[in-house]
Chains A and B, each alone.
Chain A
């Protein structure tokens, strides 16, 4: 008998709400199978199981909010227990029909958490309440006023248990809180050091443009994917930047699982992992990246992606900044940032010319590495990007 516990889906998560069980007692499950959907403050996450076996008992009820580590279900049967998510690349998930609840929060009525809670208690449809708060947000008072009005023919209570409530509820507020908590912890606990290096990009740009000429639009590779691959390959020589700081010691990552900072259109960000980036071909990596961005924005991520990035890469160049000095996402120990690729006056071999360059930065955890190694990492990254054909 093994216990299936609510995993931590990131440093900023300490509880989650079970939205849906995908299995029932008696079902056989396979390692890697999605068995539940859990709402975190950031997204509805498909939670995978790490044991083969048979579901004996479902303990947590749908709609219940539970702390990380709570036993949610009991499993029995063959198969060894695996404590950590596998590092094998997750199979590219087949595109699945969008869940009804994946409505972008931006389309939802803005409302305060208290208003939503009260609306639920009073059985008021929040979408029908006229909001008087900032940007038309529904306030607690609005809900109570609406509730006092006589409602035409009260709807009968649903016979079946209500479907899982929208995970998007208060997502933006919750996400700000979660990001705040994780970043405060980072700044409190991690002694950051910051390094920057200007990297000539003409070789990488030319290589990519040439390769993309031959590719149909559906298979075109973005510079972001090339940069991810370059970081991952370089990290092979710098294992002290790839892993976690846990219980007072550095633990190297089992693979190079790069967390990709993805901004969400409605605000906030997530940084789920692409697994084994160093071992993937560029086209494969691009597909994984496109799929990840799409699912992150639709709020449909998998637990293994949320829980095990070994380093994070952020790219703010598209917003036009020169450089980004990131805040390390605990328990990771490093973050690589890329700014905008732009033409600058570039001196080389005694000659001056215009060349496209990018500023790459490293935020490192001084408990796990020193500036000396960090500097060598950035220098190696620069050299790697001069050999784009290896990527």
Chain B
């Protein structure tokens, strides 16, 4: 999957969790959960939705690595089947 395509898929999943999100206003290099106001339930739902869409399982131990959207995209790229 091309990086641009992956990003748009991730943002699409994100807007199902946070419908008010304007993807254009999201800074990819700033902490994601802060910007989108995701609590742990939103975050879990986001990961479940990503899992369904991309077939990637993100263990809890890896959460700390996923601070920004850029982090998440790089992580997914490595883990994608």
Listed in ascending order, the chain A residues whose CB lies under 8 Å from chain B are 104, 106-107, 209, 212-213, 216-218, 220, 222-224, 265-266, 289-290, 293-294, 318
Within 8 Å CB of A217, what residues of B? 44, 47-48, 51, 57-58
For this complex, 25 residue pairs linking A to B, each with C-beta atoms less than 8 Å apart, are: A104-B20, A106-B19, A106-B20, A107-B19, A209-B61, A213-B61, A216-B57, A217-B44, A217-B48, A217-B57, A218-B48, A220-B44, A220-B60, A222-B40, A222-B41, A265-B18, A265-B19, A265-B20, A265-B37, A266-B20, A289-B41, A293-B41, A294-B45, A318-B39, A318-B40
Instruction: Please determine whether B40 and A290 come into contact, CB atoms closer than 8 angstroms.
Output: no
Chain B residues with Cβ below 8 Å from A224 are 40-41
Residues of B23-81 contacting chain A, CB below 8 A: 37, 39-41, 44-45, 47-48, 51, 57-61
Convert B1-37 into 0s and 1s, putting 1 for each residue whose CB lies closer than 8 angstroms to a CB of A: 0000000000000000011100000000000000001
A223 with B40: in contact, given A213-B59, A217-B58 (CB under 8 Å)?
yes
The reply to whether B41 and A290 contact each other, CB–CB distance below 8 Å, is: yes
- Whether B60 lies near A209 (C-beta < 8 A) is yes
- Chain A nearest CB: distance from B67 CB in Å? 16
Instruction: Look across to chain B and name the residue whose beta carbon is closest to the beta carbon of A319.
Output: B39
- A213 to B47 Cα, complex, angstroms: 15
Query: A39 to nearest B CB, angstroms?
Result: 20
- For the complex, give the distance between the alpha carbons of A252 and B44 in Å: 35
Would you give the shortest CB distance from A364 to chain B, in whole angstroms? 26
CB distance from B68 to the nearest CB of A (A): 18
Contacts of A216 in B (CB 8 A): 57
Hey, which bits of chain B sit against chain A, CB under 8 A?
Answer: 18-20, 37, 39-41, 44-45, 47-48, 51, 57-61
* Nearest-CB residue, chain A, relative to B52: A218
Report B31 CB to chain A, min CB distance, Å: 12
Measured between alpha carbons, how far is A216 from B50 in the docked complex, in Å?
13
With a CB–CB cut-off of 8 A, which chain B residues contact A223? 40
Q: Tell me whether B41 and A107 are in contact (CB under 8 A).
A: no
Q: Are B39 and A104 in contact (CB under 8 A)?
A: no
- Minimum CB distance partner of A218 in chain B: B48
Q: Is the CB of A104 within 8 A of B19?
A: yes
Q: Is the interface of A mostly helix, strand, loop or mixed?
A: helix
B20 and A290 contact, CB distance less than 8 A: no
Q: Tell me the bound Cα distance from A220 to B41 in angstroms.
A: 10
Q: A209-B61, A217-B48 are in contact. List 19 more A-B contacts (CB 8 A).
A: A106-B19, A107-B20, A213-B59, A213-B60, A217-B57, A218-B48, A220-B44, A220-B60, A222-B40, A222-B44, A224-B40, A224-B41, A265-B20, A265-B37, A266-B20, A290-B45, A293-B41, A294-B45, A318-B40
CA gap between A318 and B19 in the complex, in Å: 20
Chain B residues within an 8 Å CB radius of A294: 45
- Give the residues in chain B near A222, CB-CB below 8 Å: 40-41, 44
CA distance A290 to B57 in the complex (A): 19
Whole-angstrom CA separation of A336 from B41 in the bound complex:
19
Closest residue of chain A to B19 (Cβ to Cβ) is A104
Shortest distance in angstroms between A144's beta carbon and chain B's nearest beta carbon? Answer: 29
Determine the residue in chain A with the shortest Cβ distance to B59: A213
Question: What are the 8 tightest A-B residue pairs by CB atom distance, in nearest-first order?
Answer: A318-B39, A106-B20, A104-B19, A212-B60, A217-B51, A293-B41, A222-B40, A217-B47
Nearest to A107 among chain B residues (CB) is B19
| B57 nearest in chain A by CB position | A217
Separation of A212 and B48 alpha carbons in the complex (Å): 14
Smallest beta-carbon distance A164→chain B, Å: 22
> Which chain B residue lies CB-closest to A106?
B20
How distant is the Cα of A123 from the Cα of B20 in the complex, in angstroms?
28
Please measure, in the bound complex, the distance between the C-alpha atom of A159 and the C-alpha atom of B19, giving whole angstroms.
Answer: 34
Min CB gap A98→B, angstroms? 11
**What's the least CB distance linking A143 to chain B, in Å?**
25
Q: Complex: how many Å from CA A222 to CA B57? A: 17
CB-nearest residue of chain A relative to B60?
A: A212
Query: Chain A residues near B18 (CB, 8 Å)?
Result: 265
B28 to chain A, nearest CB (A): 22
**Closest Cβ of chain A: how far from B62's Cβ, in Å?**
11
**Closest CB-CB distance, B5 to chain A, in whole Å?**
22
Tell me the minimal C-beta distance from A201 to chain B in angstroms: 14
In the bound complex, residues from chain A placing their C-beta under 8 Å from that of B40 are: 222-224, 318
Q: Which of B47, B48, B58 has the most CB of A within 10 A?
A: B48
- Counting chain A CB atoms within 10 Å of each CB, the highest count among B41, B44, B57, B59 belongs to B41
